[in-house]
Structure 1
């Protein structure tokens, strides 16, 4: 059973998990702008690279759901992970693809940017709608000054 984040602390932990997967997958060893992570290293062991890629990608997808990401963002993350996994399974060319195509990094960045563009309120919609903070935000959104997504964590 998937449990949605209920607080800003849980959202912070989700972001930390996503950043950890990103670093382990695509940048354990960095040289300039390039990095190699477990995804690229495990691709040399038959089956291990694909298993790792799907597992790490699954963690990012789970965290996206927990962070209540928009369905289209979750679909994009799944597509990136699928491409990353399939590309890594191609003999010889897949090895280079796993080093150059940093799918976990792209997915993690997509999720964290989406979280940055979302305003999270602790509490239910009814509780939050009674606050001045929410009414001020709603006025800014209606005036076109704010283009953020609002999510209620309660």
Structure 2
């Protein structure tokens, strides 16, 4: 199963993304600052890059499963690539990798995008006749609602 089919799937995707965010960039936190596996493993040659790509890949996979807009997926990929490449740079790259919380940034971007999306369980043709869909459509057409609508069926 690639795409989410229900609100339960979306809930699980959100939990996965939050887990990766916490492990990557905030296992040990002091106030607004924190360090996670991404920052710690950057000091081991190859391990930091491997972890960064793997964790970032999970966020991208969950973005696709949540049917995020293609531009959001591209932005998440760009952030993960910058995070991974910065950690691979000799010297100052290690410090940048500790300070640049790319996984947190990507995860927050995805969860905000999911919050701004209205998900309907079922196919478009099944939902078009519902009162809830007609009311939402009228709010969108009136300019009162600017959210994305995604059908999970």
Alpha-carbon distance, 1:3 to partner: 1.0
* Deviating more after overlay: 90-99 vs 49-58: 90-99
Within a 5 Å distance, the mapping from 1:71-150 to structure 2 comes to 71-150=70-149
Give CA deviations for 1:29-74 in whole Å, capped at 9, x if unaligned: 0012110000000001000000000000000000000000000000
* Structure 2 residue 55 is the aligned partner of structure 1 residue 59: no
Q: TM-score, normalised by structure 1?
A: 0.98
> What is aligned with 2:7?
8
* Deviating more after overlay: 27-36 vs 77-86: 27-36
Structure 2 residue ranges without an equivalent (≥5)? none
Which contiguous aligned blocks of 4+ residues in structure 1 show a shift greater than 3 angstroms? none
Give the number of aligned pairs.
Answer: 153
Q: TM-score, normalised by structure 2?
A: 0.99
Alpha-carbon distance, 1:92 to partner: 1.8
- Give the Cα separation in 2 of the matches to 1:54 and 1:8: 28
Structure 1 residue ranges without an equivalent (≥5)? none
- Give the Cα separation in 2 of the matches to 1:95 and 1:27: 17
Give CA deviations for 1:61-107 in whole Å, capped at 9, x if unaligned: 00000000000000000000000000001112111111110000000
